[in-house]
Structure 1
Amino acid sequence: MGSGGGTAEATLVEEALRVLNTADPFEKARLGDEIATKWLKGDIEVAYDASKEIQVPDRPARGANVKLVSPSEMPKLGKAGSLQSRKALVHSLVHTESWAIDLSWDIIARFGKQEAMPRDFFTDFVKVAQDEGRHFTLLAERLKELGSFYGAFPAHDGLWDSAAATSNDLLARLAIEHCVHEARGLDVVPTTISRFRKGGDEKTAELLETVIYPEEITHCAAGVKWFKFLTLRKGSKEDDDSGDHTFKGDEADERADAEVIPKFHEIVRAFFRGPLKPPFNEVARKAAGFGPQWYQPLAVKDKFISHSF
């Protein structure tokens, strides 16, 4: 498809595969940032070539420097009251962000062509991927400043387990990764910030509060946006993807209430084990585009609590 200077240009999906097949997490972040910048500047023009077969890896390439254990075997991280606890907490965040990079490029490579998604879908998740790479780099540098390094503590890959379980269903991927797991991150980050601040680590608290937290809201919003889009498109008799296909105003709100939210509940119950755990960060979740009617019916029965952080 796209070409220039007499040589074939790589599509965005092909570039996404380069990131997924890069094992070193620092190089993964650097390469992702480079590709994202090219896409956003228009230097990569084509999202995917419909005539080309692509092979998305079942599991992205990963370095062997981090000892992996099951979630149940993870040691307690503590509450940031000691230097060791702060190191462990930051290490956990670094590991999460390393997977977030892969998850962002995976959704582009795995589903963009398969679902014939519009260009805005690719742009939104390129931005997410670029943010996650920056978060990883900043947190890894902070971990180094604290006297540690990525790989110094054990970690688990539960986040990728959810990705594997939703590898054949974009709606499920959007619901579970972006509207459940990422939304859960929004719920707990204010407490994490408070713990670092109480532990005397203002620098980490500031990084989380001013850079990572607000950007994670936009990542959750991307999931909500495209979950709505895909649900409404699948349910619409007028399936027209010839442009920026969005739903606006009261029509979108009404259709979301009638179609999208019940579909969200159905998918979460099918793909997520157990109820959602309160307290919920209602302010951040609302900013991301979904209110209590999305998640309250999925919460622990008779124990629903809401916090306005």
Structure 2
Amino acid sequence: MDIKTVPPLGGEGQDCLRGLALAALAATAWQDKLAGVQAISDAAVLDCGKTFAPSAVLPGRPPLPELVAPSQVRQRSMATQEGRAALLHALAHIEFNAVNLALDILWRFAGMPEAFYRDWLRVAREEAHHFDLLRRRLEALGYAYGGFPAHNGLWEMAQRTQDDLLARLALVPRTLEARGLDASPQIRSKLAGAGDAESAAIVDIILADEIGHVAIGIFWYKRLCRLAGKDPIACYAELAERHGAPRLRGPFNLQARRAAGFDEAELAALQAGDAALLPHTESQA
């Protein structure tokens, strides 16, 4: 089949599932982005081999929040409503980026089976739901998305892996998004301990869905490794080094990671890498 290049908007791209994903990715207002995700119908034409030429800077994002270095996103006390709102805002920004990441993998990487694109459409819809839950909770507390600074780490890794689907799967869902599985119990505990049961319940919803999202990333990562004759653990180490992935530190949510499809060899490698980062003392030598 010939690979065809079409615009993201207009013509046949307007009715194509992957073209609609690109259009939603390019939307700048969060309202338009959520509407764009909602507008992608299961009945939309899906051409797995089609390639697209973006006509806008990606991803589309609103002028706020201000994007700063991670070190400039300061922690606030959970004892205050502002502190809890800042934490919820950080989570909302992660989910906003996760919407963009799911949309990006939908349009960018041609030639995968139809099930691949159906999987990531499901992820985009659920990430949009997570963002909206957090946004509404922020509003209930008297704040709005964009009201606190945020960092851009998730999308920066997407940029580094934009030409390599195997690297994208290894280093975004399997690495950065899997960190959300590890962080969720502590975040939930902080919110519940501060008496914010409503926000803690949202974290529960997100964790349950994110296990499925990480599972999708792991499934397709391992499938591509098999097709390429690569060992998933050795391949991961090479990709992490090549693209500057962060070294992962515990504690790890092993129960959630197992539910998402990490096998025991992968978890052992993860924990061994964590141990290698610990400072050595005479008693450890």
TM-score interval, normalised by the smaller of the two chains: 0.7 to 0.9
The corresponding residue for 1:104 is 102
The corresponding residue for 1:14 is 19
- The answer to whether the 8 Å contact 2:85/2:138 transfers is yes
The corresponding residue for 1:170 is 165
- The answer to whether the 8 Å contact 1:56/1:109 transfers is no
Number of aligned residue pairs: 266
Identify unmatched segments of 5+ residues in structure 2. 5-10, 280-285
Identify unmatched segments of 5+ residues in structure 1. 2-6, 236-257, 305-309
What is the distance in 2 between the residues matched to 1:45 and 1:12?
6
1:138 correspondence with 2:133: yes
Q: 2:257 aligns with which of 285, 289, 302?
A: 285
The 5 A counterparts of 1:256-271 are 259-271=231-243
The corresponding residue for 1:75 is 74
What is the distance in 2 between the residues matched to 1:30 and 1:18?
11
Classify 1:191/1:56 alpha carbon distance in 2 versus 1 (closer, same or farther; 3 Å): farther
The corresponding residue for 1:47 is 47
- The answer to whether the 8 Å contact 1:11/1:49 transfers is no
SS of residue in 1 equivalent to 2:106: helix
- Give me the TM-score of the superposition, normalised by structure 1: 0.81
The corresponding residue for 2:225 is 231
Report how far residue 72 of structure 1 moved: 1.6
The residue type paired with residue 222 of structure 1 is: I
Classify 1:138/1:214 alpha carbon distance in 2 versus 1 (closer, same or farther; 3 Å): same
Report how far residue 49 of structure 1 moved: 5.2
What is the distance in 1 between the residues matched to 2:163 and 2:96?
22
Classify 1:190/1:151 alpha carbon distance in 2 versus 1 (closer, same or farther; 3 Å): same
- The answer to whether the 8 Å contact 1:47/1:122 transfers is no
What is the distance in 1 between the residues matched to 2:53 and 2:118?
20
SS of residue in 1 equivalent to 2:185: helix
- Pairwise CA RMSD: 2.1
- The answer to whether the 8 Å contact 1:58/1:164 transfers is no
The residue type paired with residue 94 of structure 1 is: A
SS of residue in 2 equivalent to 1:23: coil
1:205 correspondence with 2:200: yes
Report how far residue 135 of structure 1 moved: 0.4
1:184 correspondence with 2:159: no
1:218 correspondence with 2:193: no
Classify 1:56/1:184 alpha carbon distance in 2 versus 1 (closer, same or farther; 3 Å): farther
Report how far residue 47 of structure 1 moved: 3.3
- Give me the TM-score of the superposition, normalised by structure 2: 0.87
Report how far residue 300 of structure 1 moved: 4.3
SS of residue in 1 equivalent to 2:231: helix
SS of residue in 1 equivalent to 2:101: helix
What is the distance in 1 between the residues matched to 2:277 and 2:30?
42
- The answer to whether the 8 Å contact 1:56/1:110 transfers is no
The residue type paired with residue 46 of structure 2 is: V
1:299 correspondence with 2:274: yes
What is the distance in 1 between the residues matched to 2:82 and 2:46?
47
The corresponding residue for 1:88 is 86
SS of residue in 2 equivalent to 1:182: helix
What is the distance in 2 between the residues matched to 1:65 and 1:58?
16
The corresponding residue for 2:146 is 151
The residue type paired with residue 81 of structure 1 is: A
1:66 correspondence with 2:38: no
Deviations, residues 82-101 of structure 1 (Å, cap 9, x unaligned): 21110100011111111111
Q: 2:37 aligns with which of 29, 32, 38?
A: 32
Classify 1:57/1:176 alpha carbon distance in 2 versus 1 (closer, same or farther; 3 Å): farther
